[in-house]
Chain A
Amino acid sequence: MKLSESGDARIRGYLYILGRSLKSFLPREMALDALREIESHVRERLEQTDAAESEETAVARVLAELGPPLQVARAYSAEIAVEAALATGGMGAVSRALWRLASTTVAGFFATLGLFVGYVLGLGLVATSVLKPIFPENVGLFIVDGIPRSFGAQFPVPPNAQVWGGYWVVPLSLAAGLGVLVLTHRWARAYLLWWRSRTST
């Protein structure tokens, strides 16, 4: 099928959006290579279109079968982010992969939110153990009217609150914080492995 100017413009528009998105996270060479491959796919699909089908319908169908450009770009993005996270296991790579997935699906968003809470809780407990020796009067279990209200550090201590807890808070918080961090990180990697098994978006 020889494309008219408007048909060609539609394909170029698709590739433009895809290219811009790919270049935002892929090295330029890789992005151009992926773009060239997708363009080759689209042009070849159109070459084999039934003569009875109008150009407009054929272009729309071929692009629809490929998927929206941002969805295709997200599939590349998620593959790369998850791959790096699983290969290195580092917290930075895992966080970046979770962020990518959170912006891809609703389930990914809630899973990432849950894991984010785990990381914050773990880091908070570790911070508590570090702050206790420096600010012993501001760190511990805060009791108001005989009821435990919160655990951690507060500056200044609320006027009606009592701080309970000696230096045993240090090893306890440290162990609990590291435990929560390790567990959260394991869950994050398990989630990414599960996601990877589903393969792309």
Chain B
Amino acid sequence: MVTGKAFESRPLETWREQLRRGALDLAILLSVSTARRRYGLDIIRHLEEFTDIVVGEGTIYPILARLTREGVLVSEWINHEGPHPRKYYRLTDKGRSDLSEMIEHWKSFAAKLGRLVAASGENVT
């Protein structure tokens, strides 16, 4: 049986999940941009250090593959930098340009929403 509270919390959970997943592309690109190049596990660790955005580690790799196909990232296998061969990713010129736009959009979006939250703050709490 679903209790009232559990039923009410489900849309909130869905919303949190959508927010997290929606920001994942940006988070991955930001992570790659902070180093000359990064491999999958390194990206996951970096994201884990700053956020709680990674839930299933296996979901990162298909996104990296898509971003590579889209020409935002470029990848190469390097055999001698770890105990096992690693597939490293770095931003392309297009990736840097896309990321720059994404950051601007994110800042503007967050600022607008922040103003809205501030305006409604006293009434909500």
Residues of A within 8 A of B (CB): 30, 33-34, 36-41, 43-45, 47, 65-67, 71-72, 75-76, 78-80, 83, 197-201
Whether a CB of chain A sits under 8 angstroms from the CB of B83 is: yes
| Closest 7 pairs between A and B when the two form their complex, measured CB to CB | A72-B58, A67-B58, A67-B56, A199-B21, A75-B62, A198-B21, A76-B62
Q: Is the CB of A43 within 8 A of B83?
A: yes
B41 and A76: CB pair below 8 A? Answer: no
Interface residues of B in 41-72 (CB under 8 A from A): 41, 56-59, 61-63, 65-66, 69-70
Interface hit among B84-92, B107-115, B117-125: B84-92
Q: Is B57's CB under 8 angstroms from A65's CB?
A: yes
- Are the CB atoms of A67 and B59 closer together than 8 Å? yes
A72 and B84 contacting across the interface, CB-CB below 8 Å? no
Are A79 and B25 in contact, CB atoms less than 8 angstroms apart? no
Q: Total A-B pairs in contact (CB under 8 Å)? A: 86
Partner of B61, one of A34, A43, A45, A78: A34
B65: which of A66, A67, A71, A76 is its contact (CB, 8 Å)? A76
A–B Cβ pairs within 8 angstroms, 8 of them? A39-B84, A40-B41, A40-B86, A43-B83, A47-B84, A71-B58, A198-B17, A199-B59
B82: Cβ under 8 A from any A Cβ: yes
Partner of A200, one of B59, B77, B84: B59
With both beta carbons as reference points, the residue of chain A lying nearest to B83 in the complex is identified as: A47
- Within the complex, what minimum Cβ distance (angstroms) separates B51 from chain A? 14
Nearest A residue to B17 via CB reads A198
CA A72 to CA B56, docked complex, whole Å: 9
Report chain B residues within 8 Å CB of A201.
59
- Beyond A66-B57, A75-B58, 8 extra complex contacts between A and B, CB < 8 Å: A36-B87, A40-B41, A41-B57, A44-B86, A66-B56, A67-B58, A75-B59, A198-B18
Complex CA–CA separation, A80 to B40 (angstroms) = 19
- A199: which B residues are within 8 A, CB to CB? 21-22, 24-25, 59, 63
- Which residue of chain B has its CB nearest to the CB of A39? B84
Asked if A72 and B61 make an inter-chain contact with CB atoms under 8 angstroms apart, the answer reads yes
Of B21, B66, B83, the contact of A79 (CB 8 Å cutoff): B66
A168 to B85, CA, bound (A): 69
Kindly provide the distance from the CB of A41 to the nearest chain B CB, expressed in whole angstroms.
5
A36 touches B85 (CB 8 A): yes
Residues of chain A lying within 8 A (CB to CB) of residue B62: 34, 72, 75-76, 78-79, 200
CB–CB A40/B85 < 8 A: yes
A127 to chain B, nearest CB (A): 38
Contacts of A66 in B (CB 8 A): 56-58
B56 and A79: CB pair below 8 A? no
Determine how close the nearest CB of chain A comes to the CB of B39; give it in whole angstroms. 8
Find out whether the CB atom of B41 lies under 8 angstroms from the CB atom of A44: yes
A37-B61, A67-B56, A72-B61 given; A197·B87 CB < 8 A: no
Please indicate the chain A residues that have their CB under 8 angstroms from the CB of B87 in the complex.
Answer: 33, 36-37, 40
When the two chains form their complex, are residues A38 and B58 in contact, meaning their CB atoms are under 8 A apart?
Answer: yes
Q: Is the CB of A79 within 8 A of B84?
A: no
**Closest CB in chain B relative to A43 CB, distance in Å:** 5
